[in-house]
Structure 1
């Protein structure tokens, strides 16, 4: 039997609060409504989604209205708007993927869901569905401890207070607080997630806030070609390896859209937006970074994209930010970026 848009919208409405928590994560529940800025998940309260209501008509559960613009729609429109999707085929595919997730359970309930395949995209999406915004959490403290204070457009980062960690198959599972990063494709569709487990006891110089684990950072899902994205993509962007490195560059260039590829190998394979004409490559000073940059330079040349390499003075840009300071990092960036981009992307940073 072919599933119609009405069928999908009805199924989503049966899980309306879970849909809102996942796709409108910058909002909050108030009574029988979910309040958020708009259908694109902007913080605010002008848009309200009905969490209760009849099975059909405009007052049904899942129907929403933006009081500021007069826009209205259903939960399929929420998926389309929050992920910036264009084709309904992609909206329907995302809706079906979400509906395959288990219903969220109360934290204190005994028992659990049948696990998704380990390391899969589905598993990554389930994990992200259980997270919360980073404001006033250990994630915000972790980033600020690393000198990263430019936290606008960081909706891709989330907080999980008790994220599972297991060193290998022969030891018990532990739980640690974690920074969860959404890995997305060019359309904004989630393809994977990256976990950075954090130390709830404080931020020592030894681990800079990461949990004292053998592998405090791990990724899951489909990463190749995709990235953790900060800011809306444009004709000029910066791509870096790690989240902290990329956000450090963004501290000095706060208006420049950024992509964190999560490793040198994935940096070399990152997929470019069609309108990209200039790419800044925030490299790390190590052999893996050299190889990634060489591959990326070859790819950009073949596509007619201007590539400009940004080189840190120390091991990476977060080390520059922490040890040399923001003003020194700004000065270094000013010497390396195109003159026209200083005014466009760094005006408020100088």
Structure 2
């Protein structure tokens, strides 16, 4: 039986054929195949190397996703289990099948894979989760001082979420914290996965324990966010733990985690927004996100205000300085009106 690395190598030998089949909305440009995303939408943010030593490797500049053609097949076909990915690849390569196809495999009546948009695949994964309370993911967040995470419906737990090492090709699964990425109407457009160590020792020991799937651009993970109502004041930042730490001491303030600096800069403002507090991130990419979102806010007549942690980030403030010290620090940075409305 061919290994995952063997299958990825076979696909890379015919990288352009793979792209024409699974990413038919794209086009060749020199030594690359350009398309909008893994959902086969038009655009050019996702590029696939077609020749050379990196043939078959791909990156989506908009979402930060990357991988080889085995990952591409998994994403475009909306598959979860590796055995279904391998079966689809064998079908494409016209290789002998090792056994009968499972009824869960994503094939239609004509034996071709369904074309599932990325958002649909994200919703499918979210439906496979369980409530966060009393799970390993809840314990993971509690260790970080975030005690009320289970009150947020955007956060769920998956006991065995598929993970594939992009270097070795090894496929396995780990428990995972799953966060729903939603649009302004509350529809799930994507998910963010944080794989966890099964023994409760923090994140899983893998190269990239955090990955996103689906439509992130303009959207975010939302906490305490009213749907279809004006949101005059909110806080926005990159990381889940950063925003959950702020929400721990300001539970009444609507908050969003955009997950990356680029997506923070592109976040779509809710209706009625007058002020937006932007949680600072000290690195260069974080400053880019703050500056981009601030410029867009000012252009829309929204006042941007930056919240800065005392230590490296707001989760460090919560864990090492405590909620009272974090509350006092935020009180000095909020407008008097907002300090009265959102802080105890």
Per the alignment, residue 247 of structure 2 pairs with 250
- Checking the alignment, whether the CA contact within 8 Å between 2:224 and 2:251 is kept in structure 1 is no
Match of 1:112 in 2: 104
TM-score (normalizing by structure 2): 0.65
Task: Report the equivalent of 2:286.
Answer: 289
Q: CA deviation at 1:172?
A: 2.5
Q: CA deviation at 1:118?
A: 8.5
Confirm or deny that 1:147 pairs with 2:142: no
C-alpha deviation, 1:170, in angstroms: 4.6
SS at match of 1:336: coil
DSSP-derived class of the 2:251 partner = coil
Matched, 1:261 2:261: no
Whole-angstrom CA distance in 2 between matches of 1:118 and 1:155: 25
Q: 1:172 to 1:152 in 2, by over 3 A?
A: closer
Is this contact kept in 1: 2:276–2:302, CA < 8 A? yes
Q: CA RMSD in A?
A: 2.2
Structure 1 gaps of 5+ residues are 1-100, 103-108, 204-208
Show the counterpart of 2:197. Answer: 199
For 2:248 and 2:290, locate their aligned partners in 1 and report how far apart those are by CA, in whole Å. 22
Measured in 2, the distance between the counterparts of 1:295 and 1:176 equals 35
1:343 alignment partner, SS class: helix
Deviation at 1:113, TM superposition (A): 2.5
Tell me the residue number matched to 1:183. Answer: 181
Name the TM-score, length of structure 1 as normaliser.
Answer: 0.64
Structure 1 pair 217/148, CA: closer, same or farther in 2 (3 Å)? same
- 1:96 alignment counterpart: none
Contact preservation (8 Å) 1:182, 1:194: yes
State the match for 2:205 in structure 1.
Answer: 212
In the TM superposition, residue 313 of structure 1 has moved relative to its aligned partner by 1.3
Unpaired stretches in structure 2, ≥5 consecutive residues: 1-77, 80-100, 107-112
Give SS of 1:211's match.
coil
The Cα of 1:343 is off from its aligned counterpart by 1.8
Q: 1 CA distance for matches of 2:148 and 2:248?
A: 5
Q: Summarize the Cα distance change of 1:292–1:346 in structure 2 as closer, same or farther, 3 Å threshold.
A: same
Which residue of structure 1 lines up, in the alignment, with residue 134 of structure 2? 136
- Residue 346 of structure 1: CA displacement? 1.0
Q: Would the aligned equivalents of 1:131 and 1:158 in 2 still touch at CA under 8 Å?
A: yes
Compute the displacement of 1:151 (Å): 2.8
